[in-house]
Amino acid sequence: MTEKATPSPEAIKAWARLMRVSRQLMESAEEALKVAGLPPLAWYDVLHELAEAGEGGLRPFQLIERTLFAQYNISRLLARLEADGLVEKLTVADDGRGQTIRITAKGRETRRQMWAVYGRSITELVGAKLSADELTRVSALLGRLRHPPASD
C-alpha cells in the first residue's frame, strides 16, 4: 500500500463510526417494523420506488438501479412481493420477455403502514437527536461521500 493510499487516523475513525452507526440505525428501524408485524425494510424500499414510478411501474433493471439490490436479490424479493399481492408483473408489449413491475392497492396500503413505523423510527433515531442545522450539515457531508454525487 502506498503512502497516498494509507488512510489517515481520522478517516479510519470516521469510517468505523459511519459503519457502526449505519448498522445500528438500520437494525433499530428493522426491529421497529418487526415488532409492528410489518415486512422488512427492503420491502419498503421497493414499494416506495414503485409508488413513486406511478401507474407505469418500473422494469426490474430500473429497480436494481434505484435500490442497489443485486439482480438475484431483487428477483427473489419481487417474487415474494407478488406472492403477497403487493406488486404485479405486467408483460411489456414490445418485449416478449420483458416485464414491468407495478405496485398494487394492497402494496400501497402496506407501504403506508410501514411508513408510519419507519418514519417514526427516523424521527426517534435521528431527528430527535440532532438540530435542524446539524441534520443539514450531516446530510451535506454524507452527500459528499456519494459517487456519483446525487441531489438527494
| Stated pTM of the model | 0.85
Average pLDDT, the chain: 92
For 97-151, what is each residue's pLDDT tens digit?
A: 788 999 999 999 999 999 999 999 999 999 999 999 999 999 999 999 987 655 5
pLDDT the model gives residue 42: 94
CB 51 within 8 A of CB 144: no
% of the chain at pLDDT higher than 90: 78
pLDDT the model gives residue 20: 97
- Residues β-bridged to residue 33: none
pLDDT the model gives residue 22: 94
Evaluate the CA torsion angle 83, 87, 88, 92 in order and state its sign: negative
Task: Give the 3-state secondary structure of residue 131.
Answer: coil
Task: Give the 3-state secondary structure of residue 86.
Answer: coil
pLDDT the model gives residue 4: 73
Which stretch of 22-36, 41-55, 67-81, 127-141 has the lowest confidence by average pLDDT? 67-81
Q: Grid coordinates in use for 104? A: 398494487
74: number of Cβ within 10 Å: 19
8/69: higher pLDDT: 8
CA angle, residues 105, 106, 107, in degrees to nearest 5: 90
User: Which residues, in sequence order, are CB contacts of 99 under 8 Å at separation 6+?
Assistant: 59, 60, 89, 90, 91, 92
Nearest C-alpha neighbor of 22 from the set 41, 9, 50: 41
pLDDT the model gives residue 149: 55
- Is the pLDDT at 90 greater than 70, yes or no? yes
pLDDT the model gives residue 69: 84
pLDDT the model gives residue 71: 84
- Is the pLDDT at 1 greater than 90, yes or no? no
User: Which residues, in sequence order, are CB contacts of 33 under 8 Å at separation 6+?
Assistant: 39, 40, 41, 44, 114, 117, 118
**CA atoms of 95 and 128, how far apart (whole Å):** 48
pLDDT the model gives residue 16: 97
